[in-house]
Amino acid sequence: MTPNDIIIRTENLTRHFGDVVAVQDLTLDVLAGEVFGFLGHNGAGKTTTVRLLNGILGATSGAVEVLGLNPLTDGPALRRRTGVLTETPSLDDRLTANETLTVYGRLYGVDRGRLRTRVGELLEQFDLLDRGDDLVGGFSRGMRQRLALARTLLHDPEVIFLDEPTAGLDPVGRRAVHDLITELSRSGGRTIFMCTHDLAEAQKLCGRVGVMGQGALVALGTPEELAHSLQKGVRLEIELDERPGPTLLAPQTETPAPTSFRPTLTWDEVTHIASTWLPTRASIPGLIDTLVASGARIYGVKRQEPSLEDVYFALHDRREGIPPEEAPSPETSYEWQ
Amino acid sequence: MNGNKLDWRAIRAVAERDLMIVRRSKNVLLPIILVPLLLLVIIPGAIGFLGSAMDVGSDIEDLERFLTMMPEPMKTQFEQYTENQTMVVFILVYTFAPMFLILPMMTASSIAAGSFAGEKERKTMEALLYTPTTDLELMTGKMLTAWIPAILVTLVGFVLYSVVVNVSAWQTMGRIFFPNAMWVVLILWLAPASAGLGLGTMVLVSSKVNTYQDAYQLGSMVVLPVILLILGQVGGVIYLNVTFVLAAGLLLWIVDATILWFAVKTFRRSEIIARL
């Protein structure tokens, strides 16, 4: 399998539950070895999509293909090659960790001779070896999530679907899962389809993301592409010793000349941070020079590119009809008074 | 579901998993042990022991009515008994027989309610649905989970019951009088069909409800025909003989097959996941 192979392909995939539209006209390609982030609020259609992609739910209309198979007609053959971490761990309290993995290993057709070794390896990898013979009922939320992850990887799936993989994990557990996802993708060549609410996680791990809203794909691309598409410019935070001069602060009383742009600084009296949006990063030195010339003492400057979070909320606001935050036009030059 | 042959390793894995869970579920396991113990050991044991001391006088009219309406071959059998022996045989051989229809039905229903609806309630079904097992394999595994213990309870119960009634009624009967041919047919032919009826009904009911309690309560309605059988026998309308048991078994197996056909149609991943 080469990196350009399409592993998941959907075309106008649609699923209705009565009058409720769960997924509408989803058209999407996911490539081999890619970590693809699938974002969206609760009820946006992420979990339904995972179900459609694994053939445990049929589509109302549209086409879907995973690993070259039709999930609905080739479900068993496909599910031998995919692993799914469900949103809730879906573990029975009355089985031990060892029993859970052994039973699922048999269900996934893991070779009898290899199964015992594989279960041991996974229990060790997920730090559950000393709890292998304990009932899952006594496990913490984090331990359950780790066990469910181990179950997902039992049969070395080629495509891994992770629905909120770090939900309920502590920071150490989260980091371990992040490292695992990176490892599976880079060294293992696995394709990962990750549903998440955690935007920082998606930005860190995913090569591309799709954002779902009310069942439809509202944005698709790399986190950088999506951020750029917002055209919000660069946000700057400057820590100063005291409030800057009134001409630099909002609200502006004079209307700037049409060909010029003067940034509006917003001052926070508690943190002593002045913040603003600039058209491009090239505008930064001019603002710093102006501040220095006005006698301000600068303790720190922090530049923030728009994050996936900004993209997500911008898309959310757009859907809700909330007007976007004012941002300068990148084409506008500015001058200082 | 596909047309390929069944993967019995996967079916066994599903059944063994569910049986492990049943073994650790007190609310399912306790009735399966205690009810047979009460119905098949303690109560018949007491009746057997008290047989010789029983005063048949007040019940003699019922007994005579029962004997008069009985088919000829059975009448001949009862004519050789004393009044106390007749009472013991009437109760332990005939009145108790429907218990061996109720027990497998109850056992299968109770386990199936936990295995189908209970699994939905515990939110443990979704991971199973993502495995490569087909719908038919998953359903077969789960049905065996309920059917096998029901048959075991019946067989073990039958052996225990045979020992208890012969030992406890020895003083009255003076010989081994149990089981007769009707009982052998009942245990090997009718009781497994009765378990199938409880099980099939529960699979259908479980597709409509989401909790163990709801499934168990709704599914328990299936016991009504057996209660009619008990009343029919006590009222002298029905006699459990080999022919009747064979015919009832045949009818029940046909009903089972029909229910199973509907159950297979109902047990669809896509339907189950949509209700989770």
**Does A107 contact B13 at a Cβ distance shorter than 8 Å?**
yes
Among the four given CATH numbers 3.90.79.10, 1.10.760.10, 3.40.50.300, 3.40.50.2000, the one describing domain A6-228: 3.40.50.300
Supply φ then ψ for residue A219, to 5 degrees: -160, 150
Query: Which tokens hold the place of A20?
Result: 């409720």
Starting at the edge strand found earlier in the chain, the sheet holding A159-163 runs A82-85, A159-163, A191-196, A35-39, A208-213, A216-221
**Does A108 contact B274 at a Cβ distance shorter than 8 Å?**
no
Name the H helices within A187-244.
199-205, 223-230
The stretch B10-24 carries a mean pLDDT of 94
Q: Cβ contacts (< 8 Å) between A113 and chain B: which residues?
A: none
Query: Which tokens hold the place of A229?
Result: 């598409």
CB distance A208 to A194 below 8 Å: no
Alpha carbon of A107: minimum distance to chain B alpha carbons (Å): 5
Residue A253's pLDDT band (cuts 50, 70, 90): very low
pLDDT of residue A309: 78
pLDDT of residue A251: 45
Residues of chain A with CATH 3.30.70: 229-320
Q: Kindly state the percentage of chain A with pLDDT values over 70.
A: 88
**What tens digit of pLDDT does each residue of A275-326 get?**
888 877 788 888 888 888 888 899 999 987 777 777 778 777 777 777 665 5
CA atoms of A50 and B115, how far apart (whole Å): 25
CB distance A116 to A152 below 8 Å: no
Residues of chain A with CATH 3.40.50.300: 6-228
Written in H, E and C, the secondary structure of B29-42 is HHHHHHHHHHHHHH
B129 reaches A (C-beta below 8 A): yes
Query: Which tokens hold the place of B131?
Result: 């495995």
CATH number of the A229-320 domain: 3.30.70
Average pLDDT over chain A, rounded to whole? 86
**What tens digit of pLDDT does each residue of A136-177 get?**
999 999 999 999 999 999 999 999 999 999 987 889 889 989
**What tens digit of pLDDT does each residue of B126-161 get?**
999 999 999 999 999 999 999 999 999 999 999 999
Which residues fall within 8 angstroms of residue A302, CB to CB, at 6 or more apart?
A236, A237, A238, A239
pLDDT at B168 exceeding the cut of 80:
yes
- C-alpha closest to that of A101 among A126, A138, A64, A82: A126
Neighbours of A269 (CB within 10 A): 8
The stretch A212-220 carries a mean pLDDT of 91
Note the maximum CA span of chain A: 80
pTM of the model: 0.82
Q: Cβ contacts (< 8 Å) between A99 and chain B: which residues?
A: 17, 20
pLDDT at A117 exceeding the cut of 80:
yes
pLDDT at A330 exceeding the cut of 50:
no
pLDDT at A206 exceeding the cut of 60:
yes
Domain range summary for chain B, segments of one domain joined by +: 8-275
Q: Cβ contacts (< 8 Å) between B132 and chain A: which residues?
A: 75-77, 79-80, 107-109
Alpha carbon of B67: minimum distance to chain A alpha carbons (Å): 53
